[in-house]
Structure 1
Amino acid sequence: MTKIPKTMRAILLNGHGDSNMLEYRDDVPVPTPKDFEVLIRVSAAGVNNTDINTRIGWYSKGDQNNEDASWSGNALSFPRIQGADVCGQIVAVGRSVDLGRIGERVLVEPCIVDVNGENKNPPWYFGSECDGGFSEYTVVSSKHAYEINSELNDIELASFPCSYSTAENMLTRSKVKEGDHVLISGASGGVGSAAIQLAKARGAIVIAITSSNKRELVRKLGADIVVNRDADLADTLGKNSVDVVIDLVAGNQWHQFLEVLRPKGRYAVSGAIGGPLVELDVRTLYLKDLSFYGCTVLEPSVFTNLVHHIEQGDIKPLIAKTFPLEEIVEAQVEFTEKQHVGKIVLTVQT
C-alpha cells in the first residue's frame, strides 16, 4: 500500500497575469477523494495553451474584468492548481469507488462532465474549474480516470490526453472518414500533430500547414502534403479541393479555408492562436452548404477511442522536451516560443 503524505509539491496560480502569478510550494495539503473520486499520484503532466490562456485571462471577452476568464466562461477561483494533461497511478479511492482500482495506471480525461457524481453542464476543465495535475497528487471523479495498458512510459502517455482528445473530437464532430482530404492548420503543435496521426488512422489524406523549418518533421508524422503557412491556399491547393478543415489558428488568413473547402465541406475549430476575430462572407457559407463545428466539449466516445488508439499503437507520442515541475515558468516560455514540435511535459515524480 502506497503511503500518502499530508502535504505535497504543487504549482499554485494565484491570479490572472504574467508568470509571476505561478508559485511553487512544497507544503500544499494532499487532497482527499470524495465518495465518487479517486486520488492519483501524478507522475507527469503536459503543458498546454489552455494553461497559459487561463493564466493571462485570454478567454475573457470583456474589458479585462476576468469575470468570464475560465474555460467554462465563469470567473476563476484562486489559488488554482492547473494542468490538464495527467498520467499517474490511483493510490486511494472514495467510499463509492471499487477498491480494485487502486494501483491502476491512468490518464485523466480533461473535459469534466462529472464532479463527484454530479453532472456539470457546461462541463468543467481539469485545472481550470477544479484543481489539475501540476502537483504530486490530484483528485478527479472515477469516471474520468481511464486505465491505460501500454508499454509507453508515463512522460509519453502524459502527452496524449488534452491535445489528442481535442484532435479526436474535431475529427469525430466533422465526420472525417477514409479518403477525405483533410487540411490541418498549426500542424506542428500538440493538437495539430495529433490530428495528423489520428486522421491517418482513419484513412484520410492529410494536408498539413506549418512553417518551412518544420516541413520534414510534419511529413514524418504522416502528412501526405505539407503547405507553408504563408502560402495562398487557393493557389497552392486549388479552390474546392478539401473535404474537411481542422483549424487551430484562425487569424487573417481564415477566409482561405472556406475557399478551398468543397461544397458541403466541413470546418472544425478548437483554437485561435492566429487571432480570434475573422471576417466571414456569409454568402460563401450558405452557397457552398458548409457545416461549421465548434469543438470544445468531448463527445462521449472520444476518450475511450483515444485510449484504444494508444493501446493498439495506432498513434505515437511526440515529446519535444521535459522539465521538472518546479521549472514550469521555463517550460511555458519555451512553449510560447513555438519552436518545438510535439509536447512539452513536466515531470512530477522522481
Structure 2
Amino acid sequence: MIAVKVMGYGGVDKLQIVTEAIPEPKENEVLIKVKACAINNTEIWMREGAYGTDSKSGWRPEGVQFPRTPGSDIAGRVVKIGNFVDESMLGTDVVVFPFTSSGENGFEHISEDMSFIGSEYDGGYAEYVVWPAQLCFKMPLSNYTKSAVFSVSGLTAWHMVEQIQAKPGETVMVTGANGGVGSLNVQIASRVFGAKVIAIVGDLMVGDLNLEARMKELGAAHVLSYQSKNLAEQILEVNGGPIDSVLDVVGDALFSMSLQVLKKGGKFCISGSAGGQKTKLDFRTVYLKHITMYGSVLGTREEFGRMLHAVSEGKIKPVIDCTFPLQKAKEAQTYFKKSGKLGKVVLLPDSTHKGK
C-alpha cells in the first residue's frame, strides 16, 4: 500500500511517500480501507515538535517514534477482521475514535497512557489502517469525505461545549471560528445547546468567501474580526454587556481580550494555541471576576457517540474547505496552515485530482 510517513521533526520535507505491506489486524482489531482522512493541527505540530520539551512531540513522554504515519480523522470501510471480532463488522463503514487508553469511562481522555492514532500508532495518511474494533463507530453520514471531518475536531469541540455547560440564553464567544474546531464549536454551541454565539474570525471577506455570511449559516448570531482595533467594545456592544463563556483555540493573541469581555463568574475553555502558546496573566483578573478556566483536549467515548448522533440528525454539518489526494500531503499541510480557510482540509487516498 501507499502511505505518507513523517521521518522526523521538521518541515514538510519530512513527509515521504512510501510503499509498505498492508498491516494485518490482530486480536480484537479490524483492517480499514481508508476512504478519507482529514488534516488536524495535531499532526502538523507533532511533526514540528511543538508539543512537549527537548523537541519531543506526541502524547507520551518519550515522544514520537519515527517513521510514523500521521492522520487521525479517518473514515473508511472494514475489509478484514482479527480474531474475536464480530463478523458483522466486515464491510461496514466506520469512523475511528482517535485514541486508546486504560482510563475508566468518562476519564479515558485524561489517562496517563492515552495513545493517539497518527502519533503513537500509525494513522490515516495511508490506504489502509488497523484499529481496535471497539473504537470504530458507525459512519454518521453516507459520504466518506463528509464523515471524516468529525473525529478529532468534533470530539474536541463537543467536549469543550460540555465543559462550559452552555445553555439557552447564554452567550458563547468562539475564537478561530472559521477553523476545523471553531466551525464545529459554533454549530454545537448554537444548534445543539441553544446558546447565542459570537464568532471571531480574521477577515470577514476572503476573496469571494463571505465568512460573515457563512458563519451565520452555521449558527452564529454575530461575526466579528479579530483585526478590529476595538474588538472588546464591539463584543460588549453586540451582546449588550459581558459574555458568559469563551471557547478558545487561538491562545495568546486573544487571551487578554477574552478575559476582559467575560462576565463575573464567566467560563474560559481553551483547546489550542495557534495564536501563541505563552501569555501574560494577571491573576487578579481571574479571582476578582470569579472566572473558571478549563484546559480541554479531546473527550470521552460517550461524548463521541453523542456528537456522532447529532451529526447523523443533521444538527452538526461538515464544513470542508477542500480536498487533496494522499500523494499531495505536503501541499495539503502547507495549505492547511494558511489563514482564511473555512473548515477542514481532507486527504483522499483514492483521489487523482490535484487539490485546491
User: 1:10 matched to which residue of 2?
Assistant: 3
- Contact residue 13 and residue 78 of structure 1 kept, 8 A: yes
Q: Distance in 2 between matches of 1:193 and 1:237?
A: 19
Identical counterparts, % of pairs: 35
Deviations 1:128-151 (A, max 9, x none): 111110101111112211012533
**Matching residue's letter, 1:21:** K
1:52 aligns with 2:53: no
- Contact residue 243 and residue 262 of structure 2 kept, 8 A: yes
User: 2:309 matched to which residue of 1?
Assistant: 308
User: 2:72 matched to which residue of 1?
Assistant: 84
Q: CA deviation at 1:220?
A: 2.1
The change in CA–CA distance for 1:187 and 1:11 in structure 2 (over 3 A counts) is: same
Deviations 1:307-349 (A, max 9, x none): 1011111111111111100000111111111231111101113
User: 1:265 matched to which residue of 2?
Assistant: 266
Matched residue SS, 2:337: helix
User: 2:32 matched to which residue of 1?
Assistant: 40
User: 1:349 matched to which residue of 2?
Assistant: 350
Q: CA deviation at 1:297?
A: 4.1
The change in CA–CA distance for 1:324 and 1:155 in structure 2 (over 3 A counts) is: same
1:282 aligns with 2:271: no
Q: Distance in 1 between matches of 2:222 and 2:168?
A: 16
Gap regions ≥5 residues in structure 1: 1-7
Deviations 1:245-285 (A, max 9, x none): 00000124311111111111111111000001111111111
**Matching residue's letter, 1:244:** S
Deviations 1:60-89 (A, max 9, x none): 3x3xx323x113443110110000110001
Deviations 1:210-265 (A, max 9, x none): 12222222222211011111233431122961111000001243111111111111
Q: Distance in 2 between matches of 1:15 and 1:252?
A: 29
Q: Distance in 2 between matches of 1:95 and 1:114?
A: 21
**Matching residue's letter, 1:304:** G
User: 1:19 matched to which residue of 2?
Assistant: 12
The change in CA–CA distance for 1:44 and 1:148 in structure 2 (over 3 A counts) is: same
1:28 aligns with 2:17: no
Give the one of 178, 189, 194 matched to 1:188: 178
Q: What is the aligned length?
A: 334
Matched residue SS, 1:29: coil
**Matching residue's letter, 1:219:** K
Q: Distance in 2 between matches of 1:81 and 1:234?
A: 42
User: 1:5 matched to which residue of 2?
Assistant: none
User: 1:138 matched to which residue of 2?
Assistant: 129
Deviations 1:162-184 (A, max 9, x none): 11111111111121122220000
**Matching residue's letter, 1:169:** H
- Contact residue 12 and residue 334 of structure 2 kept, 8 A: no
Q: Distance in 2 between matches of 1:49 and 1:342?
A: 12
**Matching residue's letter, 1:88:** G
1:176 aligns with 2:174: no
Q: Distance in 1 between matches of 2:23 and 2:221?
A: 47
User: 2:233 matched to which residue of 1?
Assistant: 235
**Matching residue's letter, 1:80:** R
**Matching residue's letter, 2:55:** N
User: 1:66 matched to which residue of 2?
Assistant: 55
- Contact residue 114 and residue 141 of structure 1 kept, 8 A: no
Q: CA deviation at 1:114?
A: 5.7
Q: Distance in 2 between matches of 1:113 and 1:233?
A: 41
TM-score (norm 1): 0.91
The change in CA–CA distance for 1:307 and 1:252 in structure 2 (over 3 A counts) is: closer
User: 1:113 matched to which residue of 2?
Assistant: 101
Q: Distance in 1 between matches of 2:98 and 2:336?
A: 20
- Contact residue 59 and residue 114 of structure 2 kept, 8 A: no
- Contact residue 89 and residue 105 of structure 1 kept, 8 A: yes
Q: Distance in 2 between matches of 1:36 and 1:114?
A: 16
TM-score (norm 2): 0.89
The change in CA–CA distance for 1:168 and 1:130 in structure 2 (over 3 A counts) is: same
- Contact residue 78 and residue 91 of structure 2 kept, 8 A: yes
- Contact residue 54 and residue 71 of structure 1 kept, 8 A: no
Gap regions ≥5 residues in structure 2: 206-210, 352-356
Runs of 4+ in 1 over 4 A off after TM superposition: none
Q: Distance in 1 between matches of 2:212 and 2:61?
A: 36
Give the one of 140, 147, 152 matched to 1:162: 152
Q: Distance in 1 between matches of 2:298 and 2:310?
A: 20
- Contact residue 244 and residue 261 of structure 1 kept, 8 A: yes
**Matching residue's letter, 1:139:** V
- Contact residue 76 and residue 144 of structure 2 kept, 8 A: yes
